[in-house]
Structure 1
Amino acid sequence: MSTITTGELTEVLSETTLLRFATAGSVDDGKSTLVGRLLHDSKSVLVDQLEAVERASASRGQDAPDLALLTDGLRAEREQGITIDVAYRYFATPRRRFILADTPGHVQYTRNMVTGASTAELTVILVDARNGVVEQTRRHAAIAALLRVPHVVLAVNKMDLVGYEEQVFAKIAEEFTAYASELGVPEITAIPISALAGDNVVEPSANMDWYGGPTVLEHLETVPASHDMAHCHARLPVQYVIRPQTADHPDYRGYAGQIAAGTFRVGDPVTVLPSGRATKVAGIDLLGKPVDEAWTPQSVTLLLEDDIDISRGDLIVPSKDAPATTQDIEATVCHVADAPLTVGHRVLLKHGTRTVKAIVKDIPSRLTLDDLSLHPHPGQLVANDIGRVKIRTAEALPVDSYADSRRTGSFILIDPNDGTTLTAGMVGESFASPEPVKDEAEDDGWDF
């Protein structure tokens, strides 16, 4: 059987670079219109899609096509004129491929913004030029900082409604940049636009000759794509154990999953966690063929030299870069459920492909978005709150810091009664917490 070389595979899978980005902003800031303008002006809309939007716009008495309808596909979204669900769109230009997540602006759907931005390398935060920076703008900036999105674009929209005034743009850009920088956002680019009129979205604006920076699309095409984690510590959460037991492969035993970070090579010494058993990579299967090496985010099957008890939820890592296993996790979380998260809450914690029982031992602080101050020991987090938590798990987990790996440094908390997602967490992320209080969890059989 022939082996695919690294060069051949790279040529097949990486003809152009990929950028994942998300949009965010308050209600009526024009996110869906901006996305529609990007798709329309970059010639990424099919004729039948545009015709459907034109018909829908005409039925609502609009003279021009409402480009927001290219992403607001739910009936409730069209009726209310707001985005509710995360709308994913895939498009490409000659310079780059894009995966775009148009996220809701209403505070009630902040949880969806967390979902859309969790895998993004860039977030476009829109601000209405008439309103400036508002609470939801600060919330989205804080979430982008917590999720460690490396690039943030401030799109000051509706510049046509403020006479394309440079001073209006400069004031908003200065306020947002100061706030986001304090949060630790590494790179901020401010662009004045009118999504409705198309100013500085794909083509430079003739109405703002005082602005000499890139358009939104130009920036998206040229910003460095930072999702390449091939050089990080390698991590493979085992999703499935493959044992075909065919005549050709009677002793085949492979461990399948998507590489969360780093690169695996045949011959690498590896350790299986949480058991700590060590072995070596005997082979790597990709797309049904053996390869010499594989890297994130490829889905592969690893074959190991030794017969080790491995099941779904285990983590295969390089022996020299194995993370520590722990039952005590400290993290910053964004609470996404309607029901509050309280001290003593019994939950399920899902990390990678493993789900274990856990207890919320403490909630040291809640972040106040207005001034970035900390409210100590609030006792609970309600929907859309950002806070610090301490969790005790029933089984030891191999967790990385979120700063090192957004995949193996993240988790979600789940209600064990109905399977509702409660909270999205980032291990080790902190705005600096006060001292912990005495454990308030009661004994009900879940103490570990």
Structure 2
Amino acid sequence: MTDIDVAPAVPARPPKVPSRTRRRAWTVTALLVVFMMINFADKSVLGLAAEEIRQDLGLSASAFGLASSAFFLLFSLSGAAVGLLADRIRPKWLLLAMAVLWSLSQAPLAVGGGLAVLLTSRVLLGAAEGPAFPVAQQATLSWFPNHRRNLPGALVALGITLGVLVAAPVLTWVIQHHGWRSAVAAVALAGVVWALLWIPFGGEGPYAASAAAAGVGAEPVAARPRTPYRRIIATRTWIGATAAYFGTYWVIAFALVWLPSYLRDALGYDSAGATRVLMLVWGLGGVVVLGQAGLTGWLLRRGTASRWARGGVGGALLLVGAAACLALPLAPAGAVTAVLLVAGFGLAGAMSSVAVTTVTELAPADRRGGALGLMNAVVTTAGLIAPALIGRLVDTHGAQGYQHAVVITGAVLLLSGVAALTLIDPDRDTRRLSV
């Protein structure tokens, strides 16, 4: 699965990688898939326990939406700051620090406290989780040459889906039988266990920027001035990938915080039915992420330009998701509604993987951490806006507010899909950056 289309970047006969290195590469990848699973289990707790938390703490929909958005208050800033640090500090230690901070930030909420503790816990958790996805991708991709990155990158993105698929039934059971604070304690403990495993088994591979600079691996960094970040983020490809990924993250924020309530309060599902639909949404997202990786790799191997293999595939999926969301409020209740909801929310997820591999292709090795972190900082502002906006719509319009939120989501996905199709062209912009 080629990551770029420029022929010299993929040797005709790639050097043989020692089996020990290959095993270590996939061990690290597996750990980082679990890392992202825990990351999104942490995020999903509030949505799964929305009714219980609102009743326990006496919160309106607007107040709960603001509490959910508080998670993203420092999320974007920390994502940008730590992304830049990842070009200077080993990602291994950054990832370890994140996992430890996740658990520490959730411990007070698991023990007790009201709205103030909830807000503080979520703000700190968001600050610790903001850099998770770009730094995890940077660490994963450092173990693979350009032409082998699609699958591991997609697997780490798949951790998002797997995290929610596992969290939905398990945490729902914990919430129903032991209370929502026990669910918070469970995900905090999972972070501690992961950190203990990461210390001996984690690390960066031979294609990290530091290794390349030392002449190790297949991507040596030539003796030249570093490309300024401002030039990278000014490219149409970076802007297009970021705008497209923004639409994906809007859907993720909606699904994590409000989709369980939407299914119960607006569409009439009971708790078990809502959980099944949630699993269908995230399950389709996982299938789409892996399918996109396979299709993109196949297209690139056949010589298709990355503009179409990545921007075209990702943009088309966003547009289909947009059409489903825009049609959803007009559909009759029942099976048609369920199909449109699953399609609209499930198809948008592939752009998370597409955006990362696109920016990784675009940015020089010694600028990838910052380029990915800055993209993530912009993208995750969707998580700050969407939950608060939807909460306000629900308080103002009742159950009808969810329908307005779905229409807005469809419009966001439409704009994101157009951005992917019209702006992404890594080949063009890589040439311009090399001048």
Shorter-chain TM range is under 0.3
TM-score (norm: length of structure 1): 0.23
TM-score (norm: length of structure 2): 0.24
Which structure is higher in helix share? 2
